[in-house]
Structure 1
Amino acid sequence: MDDESIIWLYWERDERAIEITAEKYGPYCGAIAGNILGSREDREECLSDTYIRAWNSMPKDWPGRLQAYLGRITRNLAFNRYRREHAKKRGGGEAALVLEELGECVSGSESVEGHFDRRELIEAIGVFVRGLPENKRSIFVRRYWYADRVDKIARDRGLAPGTVSKTLERTRKQLRGYLTERGFEL
């Protein structure tokens, strides 16, 4: 079934929308949640929450791309769950590494929030990422959107893990410079 038909099922409040969404996009959303959360149980719970969130938000929203819409919901829910579970302890795993790596570019401190609207920062990062060459963009997005492990990215792209790590390091440095040039205090 095409995305527009699935969205119409949501708008019509037809419960088949969730079944079809799970069938078509469950593996995609599951991979995102799994990369961030690690455990199968947390992944499954996050998927259930994704379908509920989509059910509750679809009458207000008509997403341009259903896959991206569901991926964003899943990613946000997974990171929120991760932060909640690791609030009192420093945990390992890819999510902690991803957040730590990006922390050197975008600190999330009040100074950024106080000087610029969050949307401006998000837009600037989007412009930066869209301007990257395809190979760097792919590596950056896989690491920081999908929370893929460096060794998995390297294997899939036929590169050495050190090459991927160095590419990510240089791209983060470029992002930091790009944001600083545009007046964001980091």
Structure 2
Amino acid sequence: MEDRQIVELYLARDESALARTAEKYGPALRALAENLLEDPQTAEECENDVYLAAWNSIPPHEPRDYLFPFLARIARHTALDRCRERSRRKRGAPLLQLTGELERCLPAPDNAAEHLDDLVLAETINRFLGSLSQESRNIFLRRYWYMDSVAAIAERYALTRSKVKVSLYRSRNRLRESLKKEGYDP
């Protein structure tokens, strides 16, 4: 079923929208959550939370042309909330490693608020991503959006782990330079 048709089911408040969403995007949403949480049971709970959040937010949102990114954003935020909850309870989370890799590239929230609002920062990052080759962009997004491991990325794109690590290193450096040119101070 096409995304537009699924969104129309949500808008009509037809509960079959949930089943159609789960059928089409369930495995991808669960994998996204599991990459962050490293716990299949909690990832499944996050997936169910995504369906509830989608039900509650369509309408007013009408993501006819971008349903999966809309759902993936909800899944990612839901999983990140679970990671934060774990951290508060003194449990480890894979999020800390990835945050450490990017923290030297991105400005601190206080500096970003002083210089430009979040929308300008997002536009700068989008321009940066657009400047990368397709391979580098895919590697970067798989690591920092989907939270895939270096090994999983290497396997997915038939690359060596070393090549993936070098690509990520160079992309982070380019991002840092791009942000410096825009007036951000990481």
Please give the TM-score of this superposition, normalised by the length of structure 2: 0.94
The 8 Å contact of residues 34 and 43 in structure 2, kept in 1 or not, is answered as: yes
How is 1:53-72 mapped onto 2 (pairs within 5 angstroms)?
53-63=53-63, 64-72=65-73
Q: Give unpaired runs (5+ residues) of structure 2.
A: none
Using a 3 Å threshold, how does the CA distance of structure 1 residues 138 and 11 change in structure 2: closer, same or farther? same
Runs of 4+ displaced beyond 2 Å: 87-90
Identity %: 39
Q: CA RMSD in A?
A: 1.4
Paired amino acid for 1:76: H
Between 158-167 and 170-179, report the one with greater CA deviation. 158-167
SS at the partner of 1:86? helix
- Equivalents in 1 of 2:185, 2:14: separation in Å? 47
Aligned residues: 185
- Equivalents in 1 of 2:80, 2:7: separation in Å? 25
Residue in 2 that maps onto 1:170: 170
Residue in 1 that maps onto 2:116: 116
User: How much has 1:99 moved relative to structure 2?
Assistant: 1.6
Q: Give unpaired runs (5+ residues) of structure 1.
A: none
User: How much has 1:92 moved relative to structure 2?
Assistant: 4.5
The 8 Å contact of residues 125 and 175 in structure 2, kept in 1 or not, is answered as: yes
Using a 3 Å threshold, how does the CA distance of structure 1 residues 110 and 97 change in structure 2: closer, same or farther? same
Using a 3 Å threshold, how does the CA distance of structure 1 residues 35 and 44 change in structure 2: closer, same or farther? same
User: How much has 1:119 moved relative to structure 2?
Assistant: 1.1
User: How much has 1:154 moved relative to structure 2?
Assistant: 1.0
Residue in 2 that maps onto 1:89: 90
Residue in 2 that maps onto 1:49: 49
- Equivalents in 2 of 1:83, 1:173: separation in Å? 27
Using a 3 Å threshold, how does the CA distance of structure 1 residues 104 and 69 change in structure 2: closer, same or farther? same
Residue in 2 that maps onto 1:139: 139
- Equivalents in 1 of 2:81, 2:113: separation in Å? 19
